[in-house]
Chains A and B, each alone.
Chain A
Amino acid sequence: MFQKIMNIASLWMLPAILILILTMGLIKKVPIYEVFTEGAKEGFKVSVNIIPYLVAIIVSISMFRASGIIESTGNILSPLLTHFNIPVDVIPVMIVRSLSGSAALGIFSDIAHNLGPNNYATTLAAIMVGSSETTFYILAVYFGAVGISKIRYALLVGLLADFIGIIAAVGICNWIF
């Protein structure tokens, strides 16, 4: 039931927003075509502005992933984590999910296909991937677009929240499944 409502809401949210914006624009006598193109002009500039920040973050994270350090860290941590009932297979997901969204989804897909539907690791990985955004990517794009290079505590807060999310996922998964 909840899922059905959510599916319909997700499908109709976007069209509803568009209808709302355009209708209200016309009612208030805003020249919508003119204003739209004026705003859209910014799209190219903003995207290009992001490039240096994206290059810095994506290149360094690609190097980090290629170095094999994530696997080594996983191996070191695994005795500790199995103690908390965290399956070894899920460890890469925990580390990668703050770094790269597509990689986290890829690893989750591997786990799901290798371990199958009736595995605790699949469920835990699904919850971890489903409940997070890629902190580093968001940081590069959002701050990059306005030229912020001194990020203060933003990354720290993002990573701490990710960490709390991991603990919550493990706790809740242990409790329900």
Chain B
Amino acid sequence: MNYIFYFLIVISIIAGAINGRVQDVVNAILQGAELSVKVAFSLIGIMAFWLGMMKIAEKCGLITLIAKIIKPITKRLFNEIPENSPAIGDIAMSITANAFGLSNAATPIGIKAMEELQKHNKDKKSASNAMCMLLAMNTAGFQLMPATVIAILISIGYKNPTVIIAPTLLVTTIAFISAIILAKIFQKYWKPQFENNGGEK
């Protein structure tokens, strides 16, 4: 991450200089900083709501129930996490919410899952295999129907916007499965730093 952070900022300044847009790049710092706080603050309410709901779900045993149902799949994907951990149920709910395009619910639930995974993590600063797997599944953005995109297509008078549903679903499925496979492959060779000094990033 250190190199990526360095690369993004330094390359931007150099490229900005070449393109004669240094002023734009400098302005972007302020805009980006403002946007970050806006995003974080806009999350507070909905985050509180779903964390509250998830707490009830956990206390009444719903999360454990979901975890039991999907155990055959998660056993392979998250093999380091105890089978009855609430993390598994949280992960299932977060992926489901994503699949149905409920990103407002998916993010807080996903974060709840991350917190549960953090409890099983040995090095609190470094991502565990399970955390990387959850992140991979989320960044691939598995979604059954791209509602926003279809809305835009309808607004420009696209003849039959639903034709994009099947190909989009196919693409997102391919990305989703490859993310899982890639995460599985990388976790073998890219150990956490405290086990192996080679994993610098």
Q: Hey, what's the 0/1 contact readout for A136-167 against B, CB within 8 Å counting as 1? A: 00110111011111111111111011101100
On chain A, the residues within 8 Å of B156 by CB distance are 112-113, 116-117, 122
Cα separation A153 to B189 with both chains bound (whole Å): 10
User: Looking at chain A, what size class is its interface with the partner chain?
Assistant: 35 or more
* Cβ–Cβ contact B56 & A36, under 8 A: yes
Instruction: Give chain B nearest CB distance to A55 CB in angstroms.
Output: 4
The reply to whether A155 and B138 form a contact with Cβ atoms under 8 Å apart is: no
For B98, the chain A residues whose CB sits under 8 A away are 133
Q: Is B139 an interface residue (CB 8 A)?
A: yes
CB-nearest residue of chain B to A70? B15
Q: Which residues of B contact A112 (CB under 8 A)?
A: 152-153, 155-156, 158
Cβ of A177 to closest chain B Cβ, rounded Å? 8
Does A51 belong to the interface (CB within 8 Å)?
A: yes
B60 touching A30 by the CB < 8 A rule? Answer: yes
Cα–Cα, bound, A139→B38 (Å): 18
* Inter-chain contacts of A117 with B (CB < 8 A): 153, 156-159
**Secondary structure call for the B interface:** helix
**Is B40 at the interface (CB under 8 A from chain A)?**
yes
Q: How far is the CB of A37 from chain B (nearest CB, A)?
A: 7
Q: Does A85 have its Cβ within 8 Å of any Cβ on chain B? A: no
Within 8 A of A (CB), among B16-38: 16, 18-19, 21, 24-25, 27-29, 31-33, 35-37
The residues of A that contact B4 with a CB separation of less than 8 Å are: 155
A-B contact pairs, 30 of them (CB 8 A): A21-B56, A25-B56, A30-B59, A39-B52, A43-B44, A46-B51, A47-B40, A47-B41, A47-B44, A58-B33, A59-B36, A60-B12, A62-B29, A64-B11, A66-B16, A67-B24, A128-B171, A133-B138, A133-B139, A135-B139, A143-B135, A147-B124, A150-B192, A152-B201, A154-B132, A157-B182, A157-B186, A160-B178, A161-B175, A165-B140
Binding site for B on A (CB under 8 A): 2-3, 6-7, 9-10, 13-14, 17-18, 20-22, 24-25, 27-28, 30, 32, 35-44, 46-48, 50-51, 54-69, 72, 105, 108-109, 112-113, 116-118, 122-123, 126-135, 138-139, 141-143, 145-158, 160-162, 164-165, 168-169, 172-173, 176
With A2-B162, A58-B36, A126-B153 known, 11 other A-B pairs at CB within 8 A are A17-B93, A17-B105, A28-B59, A36-B52, A40-B49, A41-B48, A117-B156, A122-B156, A146-B124, A161-B182, A165-B172
Instruction: Sort A-B residue pairs by CB-CB distance and give the 4 closest, nearest first.
Output: A43-B48, A39-B55, A130-B146, A133-B141
Chain B positions within 8 Å of A, measured between CB atoms, are: 1, 4-5, 8-9, 11-13, 15-16, 18-19, 21, 24-25, 27-29, 31-33, 35-37, 39-41, 43-49, 51-57, 59-62, 93, 96-98, 100-102, 105, 107-108, 110-111, 114-115, 117-118, 123-127, 131-132, 134-136, 138-141, 143-150, 152-153, 155-159, 162-165, 167-172, 174-176, 178-179, 182-183, 186-187, 190, 192-193, 199, 201
